[in-house]
Amino acid sequence: MSVKQHIKEYKRELILEAAAKLFYEKGFQKTTIDDIGAALGVTKPFIYTYFENKYSILEQLFDQSYGDLYVDLTQVLSNKKGAAKDRLQQFVALYVEKNIEYQKFSAIMLEEEKSLSPKKIGDIRRKQRDFDAKLARLIEEGVSNGEFHVSDPTIASLSISGMVRWTHRWYSPKGRLSAAELTRTMSELALNLVGCAPT
């Protein structure tokens, strides 16, 4: 990548960071291109040099945050080595860590999905179904080998995902549990949910 391309990417990232902060604090609909420009100390035309409109900024944020999360988590779910119990704990721990690390992005993803284009929503839905199916298969594997005791792996999968997905709404670094303690607690809860006592 040339120096010019590096600079262009850097400026795009600055716009995305400023927009993410505003979308999180004010909401997508109440944030304007002027607001994003003001946060960066630049003019509206500067923003339009890099993004067609506010919706394209939102979609880029989704591509980055959801794309990274999806790749990392599906890699864990695709791993077939080790006990199902250990892999489920590893998955939940990573999922919780990512939700805490990308707390603002997680909130934007859940709150502003309705503002995306039908095509983008369809793409996200496909990835979510694939993700949920992989998690259900891991739970089915644990049931088959006697590690887990749950009658409906699909519902268990959706319950675990839902439990973790909303962490961004209530987790605070100033709260009672540290990030590490919360990660461990939620991993144990996931094991309880599939009928496997934590060690």
pLDDT tens readout for residues 45-85: 999 999 999 999 999 988 887 777 788 888 888 888 889 99
Distance CA 8, CA 106 (A): 26
Q: Per-residue confidence at 114, pLDDT binned at 50, 70, 90?
A: confident
Q: How far apart are CA 67 and CA 64, in angstroms?
A: 5
Instruction: Give me the percent of the chain exceeding a pLDDT of 70.
Output: 98
User: Residues 88-102: pLDDT tens digits?
Assistant: 999 999 999 888 887
Query: Cβ distance 196 to 147 under 8 Å?
Result: yes
Which band of pLDDT confidence, cut at 50, 70 and 90, is reported for residue 198? low
pLDDT of 54 reads 92
pLDDT at 171: 79
The residue with greater pLDDT, 35 or 8, is 35
CB atoms within 10 A of CB 31: 21
Size of the chain in residues:
199
Using CB atoms within 10 Å of the CB of residue 88, give its burial: 0 to 12 exposed, 13 to 18 middle, 19+ buried. buried
Q: How far apart are CA 139 and CA 6, in angstroms?
A: 43
Mean pLDDT of the 127-142 span: 91
Q: Which two tokens mark 96? A: 């919780």
pLDDT of residue 36: 95
3-state secondary structure the chain: CCHHHHHHHHHHHHHHHHHHHHHHHHCCCCCCHHHHHHHHCCCHHHHHHHCCCHHHHHHHHHHHHHHHHHHHHHHHHHCCCCCHHHHHHHHHHHHHHHHHHCHHHHHHHHHCHHHCCHHHHHHHHHHHHHHHHHHHHHHHHHHHCCCCCCCCHHHHHHHHHHHHHCHHHHCCCCCCCCHHHHHHHHHHHHHHHCCCCCC
Instruction: Kindly state the tokens that stand for 100.
Output: 């805490």
Q: Tell me the average pLDDT across 119-135.
A: 88
